[in-house]
Structure 1
Amino acid sequence: MPISKSRNAPFDKSDERGSDRLLQIEAVYDKVPVGLCYVNRHGLFVSTNDQFSRIFGIATENAVGRLVEDVVPNHAALLRDNIKTALAGEPASDAQIEISGELYMVAAAAVTNDLGEFAGISVAYTNITNLNDVAQKLQQVELRTSYALESAGQWIWDLNIATMRVWRSPQYRALLGLDPAGVENESVAWDIVHPDDKGRAIEALDDVVSGRKPRFEATYRVSRPDGGLTWILSRGKVVEYGPDGSPLRLLATSVDITAQKRIEEELSTTVRQRMELEQKLLEANRKLRNQSERDHLTNLPNRRKFNHLLKRAFLRAIENAEQLAVLMVDIDHFKAYNDFYGHLAGDKCLVQVGRALNKVVKQSGGSVARFGGEEFAALISGRALEPAAEIAAAMLDAVSAMGLEHGASPTGRISVSIGMAMVDPAGSAVHLGPEELLNLADGALYESKRHGRARLTIAGTFNN
């Protein structure tokens, strides 16, 4: 049988403190060095941050509520296209635009309302002028390097010492009489070396890997398609080491015996700059992905992120034979609250309730997400039924202790109802997955609502 629990706490006004916290969150949003805005499905600006205002030289109050054609006429068509793409259920492509002599990457993502319907797009403007300049300079260096290699009859190769796979630059094909238009992929090290010379090349590599010699140098023959042999001199050095000091990568040049090694140091710098640029681009993509996993109002993880966390926590609980509690939380009479106080007050209430729930759950090492509308979801790992129920009860108390007035509620103040479901490997054998666990918690939440609200209902323990 489901268990229901009710918690009450004395009335305590803390609206002013909650407002201060909300202003702090908004201030952080405005300090992000990326221009951010939200455009609804009709092409009207709903919100912008300070960086957006600085980029376009438009005050926030002069942008919100206006059409994109009135605020950013030079690329309004791009935003309209992003809205159409999102309406069609397709992901928007990143674009580059120039604003006041600066180059920006424009990334848009669809935003849905509480019913899962398309509501608009969230757009980020990232200044990539410096990255673009670096990429152009790097391209010029690589082009000059390519010309130099061709003129000197050289090629470069990059050896992964752990896997003994090697990448060669395209110039080696022309030097050996192969089709220059052929595509060169990674191949086994020493595969082009004459069988009688492989031993010398391998010994030269062993000298470098063991530390007996600081640089790699080997002379060997390579067979040509016409049956002839080309003598090659290869020189190089280890350019990457593991945490334990073991060599990981060897970068080298190869040239016929009559040529001279001229540009090895420039090549090492080019590879390093390319890796640094790739790392910066990966970091930029990580930040954009993080924005797509946060709820724009409460700054808690959104439903998409919660589903990911639930699957990961569920697998960990099964593998490690740990308990896992899933909680569904709903603000009581929230529709009536919105109708009575207005949607702005409703948004503020969501932020305050989310903050109170998160404070309790984080102390237990768990996590809280905004699941949608007035619903929140929480995960508590490694706690048995009774301790998990005590944490849920503390969540009820924390919301009640805020003393938020609710003139449209029978109790006169904001409260929440909670449904909880447990996975306990030590319990009875019931084969359920994370989705079924979530459904059990949701059903328990319905029971809390049905039996008077402001209480906890536990669906029972089970085993996967």
Structure 2
Amino acid sequence: MPISKSRQSPFDTQNERGADRLLQIEAVYDKVPVGLCYLNRNGTFVTINDQLSRMFGITSEKAVGHSVEDILPEHAALLRNSLRAALAGAPIPDQEIQRSEETFMVSAAPVTNDLGEIAGISVAYTNISNVKRIAQKLHDTEQRTSYALESAGQWIWDLDIATMRVWRSPQYRVLLGLDPNGAETESVAWDIVHPDDKANAVQAFEDAVSGRKPHFEAVYRVPRGGGGDAWILSRGKIVEYGPDGAPLRLLATSVDISMQKHVEEQLSTTVQLRLELEQKLLEANRKLRKLSERDHLTNLPNRRKFNHLLKREFVDAAEHAQTLAVLMIDIDHFKAYNDFYGHLAGDKCLVQVGRALNKVIKQSGGSIARFGGEEFAALLSGVTTEQASATAAQMLDTVSAMQLEHSGSPTGIISVSIGMAVLEDANRTIIDGPDNILNFADSALYESKRNGRGRLSVWGDFAK
């Protein structure tokens, strides 16, 4: 929408930048989907956009330079009242008007020149017919899309790339809690950006100017008038190029996203706390599981853990045709020991014997568990019957060598009896499961007890 040289703009009488400011307004006007017009102090149309022309069937040529009474007589009173309110510095309320079957929201805002004086009003006609029928969606769908009007949390700025001077609309001062009567509307680019965020903002600008990116977009902090910083999201694009194709102007909007940032920080904190809690829960579960698989007295694996290991080792041995030895170990005459020395001494005896047996089995690469009461159970994988028997014999000798006094035993010292069953090629059809081999080892243990205790019996030797 070019400016006619014969048209007198109120900006022309203020300073040399008036025409540029009008160009800024017109450039924005043509981009928005609402009807917009600008009236000078006398109530004369200075410019209208294409949308307003279509709304009321008036052309720019017909309207520009004429009063509101001549062009929109049915709206003259409303527009004159808005103009008087603007010139008086009073607030200008939004008003609804009905035209045929359509409803329009008429919003006006004062426009100032570079001296801070009211040069006229900018008026927006927004068709809210559908919004009126869907009142709940009014807040979501009705937006102030005009760069010349104060929108919720937004302001516009225009950067002269050659001089790096930026003009900001007055709304930025209001939204940041600054003195709305502050004089400056033009300053050096990036002067309000937090020092820690300036590099990113400049990089985003250079990306847009160089053409590496089609738009300018940056997030940064700016100081608030009451202290602290506001997080700002700015978006814009190059709107003017020189004859040589060099970019001349960047037009952008800025919006306060401090609330979103606060929510993001809260969400990030919540996620971090959740991760930490999950980690603690995992640790607690690991500890709980470990405790549930550990005998509290001897600190050896308990029967539950042993059964789990036995099933795993048996399946592995069966799949790979390997051997597996199961040993059942019982402290001889332990009831008599408890009756004679007491249960505390009995507990101590269990701990000492468990340590001795564990030391031997570990040397052979096996594992042992307290199976229950005075019984222990051990596993040896990949060993022959002879190798497993040697380990069992070492267990017998180690316990005897401890010389733990036992007045209730014929030998006078603590001893153990051992029963053993070995999964090997010769008996794979007979030993067909982990419970099966455990029962065979238990039978061998009772064979040792029947034969005088303090000895090893191997299932198969006596079962044939």
The TM-score, its normalising length taken from structure 1, stands at 0.42
Tell which structure's C-alpha radius of gyration is larger. 2
Superposition TM-score, scaled by structure 2 size: 0.42
Q: Which has the higher contact order (CA 8 A, sep 6+)?
A: 1
